[in-house]
Chain A
């Protein structure tokens, strides 16, 4: 442009400039449009699915007005109020996490334990948790060297093995005991121990014992009261231990540590109270409710291929949770171990360095292998080689575990890489060994990143369908899997199978509703991961 400057042709120059500017602006607009087009089209499709599932058109305007008044407006007002005050906002977030996390935890625990039979879970739980506790107690009492870490692992495995042997003989006599006692042992006892130790660490041993005892006594009281009134004692015991106790604990802690934000604790209760009040008003005045497919039936009943209003996906939801949960047990230790080896142990040069490079390349290739191929691997490995039955939980979990292994490894590696080297050097300088540095310094720093990656891997696994189809997991079963070696089922499979049903109440009703359930599960996981990343995120 130097020549144009000297000619002084101001008019021509400004026209050219304006053209340049216009071009730049148009380009930027095009870029924004391109960035948004995928997101917007997905949102439009989600809107179609939600409208089909929820059917807002069938509700009377009064219904919307009631919930606007009782639920939406108060919650929005409260959120706006909390946003402006950091202390209130923190308390609000903590309360939301405790209340809804507790509710979700209770529901999942009850559903999974109920499916697997509380007696069996209790036996396995006792045999898998007592030996490591004994090892820990032994470690406390003896000064000095012991392979405590490996011993804990071994003792858990031995405990599970023993449980597998004695499960048959014991579960008979144990069956005399009421079901709620099992839940009490499985949920209330750990909750009481947790509350007890947490309180003891802050306010002395005596207060801790009192707090733990109070939780246990509360659990017994709830069980007694529900038996007296004929309610479901097991469910109430779980709700008490996994919802009421954590909420109470968090509320109490928050009141103590964050008195300025005390009001924020009301957040989730404004939401829940609004929903209940709305429901009561709708009931009282006989307001026409929407003819929605997102009903309790959907999440509490089993599938019905003929009548859409009776169709539910309870077995599939529980099956998905069991598969993904057991998959996490199988895949995460291996994945995190492999990442630790590659990041912290593997040398950069020499034969083993080249081996590590080979491992890295191999992992990035595994990440690109299509999921159907993992299905074939699972088929060959579990059904042909190990001779497992068709489509059982172990095969499904194992197959998905192999599939997400590269994701877990890569995200854990990133988390480990973002831990500054100064910390490691500092720890070595204090005389700590490599493993001590890893356990006491590096891993605690890397936990948020690892957690984010593993939750995203879980979210990926819960929607995965193709490998499950290949290993022939059953689609429509009428009860959730009753054990790790019984036939599995999963929510995405039901959506796949039901998509062939062309009846409008299925195609534009129950199936979108099931899709909403699956999307909710997946988006909840993604949101949790993003929240953790934003809260503890470290700029590299």
Chain B
């Protein structure tokens, strides 16, 4: 652009041209930003069209309260077994990932040296970067036999001799080929970085003056970390939890491969049995429908969009929630 710095008249003439040209560029990139709105609109339109057509055939009440998901054999579309499957994986993977992720975040933010952090942070990110299909394969082929070696374990809640139904003793039976436990373990591993990185951002954002104040009062590092830094960053930590749970709900390949395709209502009261047996999540049901071309465009095919709509609504609510919580914590300092 060396020719721009000509005489005054030339640059004056050029300025109108430059303005027009710049306006064109500005519009182009504004259009690409606007495209992201179109993506959201597209998702909503794509899902709602077929989902509504599905719900006009199968009443939403029957869909959301039915306890039997058997689209092909019984022509029955109750989504509760799928929600139960999703919940089982979500809860148990959260039990693994939330404490571990928070502990990792505290370590990285408060304790780790710069060298340790520069190695551990990318290493943790890799956990989220491994393709989920590989996680599913590892769960199916390696994690299940590994855990199964320790099973069954029976926990005697009630002293022996008391006459009680066998269901009321907590027993962890041997694992089936497809089981929720191995799926939960790998999903738990894969969402650790989600918790740790967002929580660490929140912990690092706590101003140093708070820590110094704590030390000044004679607190140990343990006290400062657990009683000052973590409580100050609560909202960021909560946001990370919500996002991680939302990710676990939407996880597809690992649960499809490791947990199987048999929708189940949860077992009570021996909840551990849920872990040992196969069930099906919302996402796995969608993959199953998509994988079988024979469903054409009948209600089963449209049920896939109804499931997608349900999933989209759940994750959208959780993401908005996390964003709101995070907003609050940003404003604090």
Contacts and interface: CB of A to CB of B under 8 A. Distances in A.
A38 B127 contact: yes
B133 A370 contact: no
Given A337-B28, A406-B36, A466-B283, A496 B47 contact: no
Given A145-B17, A364-B319, A466-B253, A522 B3 contact: no
Interface string A18-46: 00110110011011101101110110010
Interface in A21-80: 21, 23-24, 27-28, 30-32, 34-35, 37-39, 41-42, 45, 48-49
A365 B39 CA distance: 11
Given A368-B246, A372-B287, A409 B134 contact: no
Interface in A336-362: 337-338, 340-342, 345-346, 358-359, 361-362
Interface string B226-258: 100000000000000001001101111100110
A366 B304 CA distance: 20
Contacts of B192: 38
Contacts of B130: 42, 463, 519, 522
Contact of B243 (A358, A366, A368, A472): A368
A147 B21 CA distance: 7
A21 B49 CA distance: 62
Nearest to B28: A337
A469 B247 CA distance: 19
Given A345-B30, A373-B308, A472-B290, A363 B103 contact: no
A470 interface: yes
A365 B40 contact: yes
Interface stretch (B60-68, B69-77, B138-146, B159-167): B138-146
B155 interface: no
B201 interface: no
Nearest to B11: A431
Given A499-B257, A515-B137, A337 B3 contact: no
B134 A519 contact: yes
Nearest to A145: B17
B311 interface: yes
B312 A341 contact: no
Contacts of A263: none
Contact of B218 (A1, A374, A434): A1
B46 A376 contact: yes
B29 A345 contact: yes
Identify which of B137, B189, B316 gathers the most chain A CB atoms within 10 Å of its CB: B137
Contact of A373 (B18, B100, B189, B312): B312
B40 A496 contact: no
Given A39-B123, A370-B249, A375-B290, A143 B3 contact: yes
Contacts of B31: 337
Given A38-B192, A145-B17, A492-B131, A380 B36 contact: no
B181 interface: no
B149 interface: no
B32 A334 contact: yes
Interface string B146-180: 00000000000000000000000000000000000
Interface in B15-41: 17-18, 21-22, 24-26, 28-37, 39-40
B106 interface: yes
Contacts of B316: 365, 368-369
A460 B253 CA distance: 14
A369 B308 contact: no
Nearest to A39: B123
Contacts of B103: 30-31, 34-35
Contacts of B26: 341, 345, 434-435
Given A24-B221, A373-B311, A435-B22, A45 B142 contact: yes
Contacts of A21: 220
Given A31-B107, A34-B103, A469-B291, A370 B32 contact: no
A405 B143 CA distance: 33
Nearest to A507: B141
Given A406-B36, A515-B137, A337 B29 contact: yes
Nearest to A409: B36
A99 to B, nearest CB: 25
A258 interface: no
A380 B49 contact: yes
A31 B225 CA distance: 11
B243 to A, nearest CB: 7
Contacts of B220: 20-21, 23-24
Interface string B196-223: 1000000000000000000000101110
A199 interface: no
A518 B138 CA distance: 14
Contact of A496 (B5, B37, B257, B286): B257
Interface string A426-438: 0000011111100
B266 to A, nearest CB: 22
18 contacts: A32-B107, A35-B108, A41-B189, A49-B138, A150-B24, A366-B39, A369-B250, A369-B315, A372-B308, A376-B286, A376-B308, A381-B42, A409-B36, A466-B252, A495-B137, A496-B257, A511-B137, A526-B129
Closest 6 CB pairs of A and B: A463-B131, A370-B250, A380-B46, A34-B103, A337-B32, A31-B107
Given A23-B220, A34-B99, A39-B120, 6 more contacts: A27-B226, A31-B111, A45-B142, A372-B311, A373-B312, A463-B130
